[in-house]
Structure 1
Amino acid sequence: MQFPDDDNGKMLAAMQEAGIDLSQALDVDYFLLFEDQRDAESALQELTESDLSGEVELHLNDELGKWELIVCLNMVPEYDAIVAQEIALNEFAGEFGGATDGWGVMQHQEGDDEFADDDHEHSDSCNH
């Protein structure tokens, strides 16, 4: 599958090369940045009260020194749909003094184990 030569197209191409099935719905995280905490909280409240069919999370991004609102939408990651959603969220964020800062998909990596027991001692008899 070919993608446009822009950031979104490159991201989708990289996902495809990594073996992600782009024909299946995935949790796509859109990142909205705000300088002011009150603006970010107002945007969060507006999204929470809307008919948005996704999850939202707000936290201070220490690396950027800005408030980051993550909007997680389960969707098929098609180029046009990604671009349309990003434009809509950028317009929304702009109403609160913010802007979008890209998107991404969390991918399970080989060796990840969200239920890992840090106290567990691995031995030759382990099957994991």
Structure 2
Amino acid sequence: MQFPDDDNGKMLEAMADAGIDLSAALDVDFFLVFEDQRDAESALEELGKSDLEGEIELLLNDESGKWELIVCLNMVPEYDTIVEQEISLHEFAQEFGGVTDGWGVMQHQEGDDDFADDAHECGDDCKH
């Protein structure tokens, strides 16, 4: 499979090389970064009101001291779709003084289940 020679293309190529099925829908995390907590919270509130179908989470990055808004979208990771979503989110973030800072996909790693909480009972809000 051929990928464009840019950061997004390289990321998709690395995912394919790692054996990830790029034809299946995956949870793709897009990262929006804000200097100011109030700007990040305003962006979070506005996204919550939008028709965006995904999960959003706001956290303080201890290393950078910046606020990260993580937008998780379940989607097929096609190059054009990724680029379109990045542009859209970047324009959105700029309205609140933020910028986008890439995207990624969490992979199931060998041993991930070793620390699973067997006593956990799923409720209506569970995402697994």
Q: What's the TM-score, normalizing by structure 1? A: 0.89
Unaligned runs of 5+ in 1: 118-128
* Consecutive aligned runs of 4 or more in structure 1 exceeding 3 Å deviation: none
2:7 partner letter: D
Distance 2:63 2:26 in 1: 26
Q: Shift of residue 40 of structure 1?
A: 0.1
Q: Shift of residue 65 of structure 1?
A: 1.2
% same residue: 81
What is the correspondence of 1:27-106 to structure 2 with a 5 Å cutoff?
A: 27-106=27-106
Larger radius of gyration: 1
Distance 2:10 2:39 in 1: 31
Matched positions, count: 117
Q: Shift of residue 116 of structure 1?
A: 5.7
Q: Shift of residue 27 of structure 1?
A: 0.3
Unaligned runs of 5+ in 2: 119-128
Q: Shift of residue 64 of structure 1?
A: 1.4
**Residue matched to 2:4:** 4
Distance 1:45 1:98 in 2: 14
**CA-to-aligned-CA distance 1:52-83 (integer Å, 9 cap, x gap):** 10000000011111000000000000000000
Q: What's the TM-score, normalizing by structure 2? A: 0.89
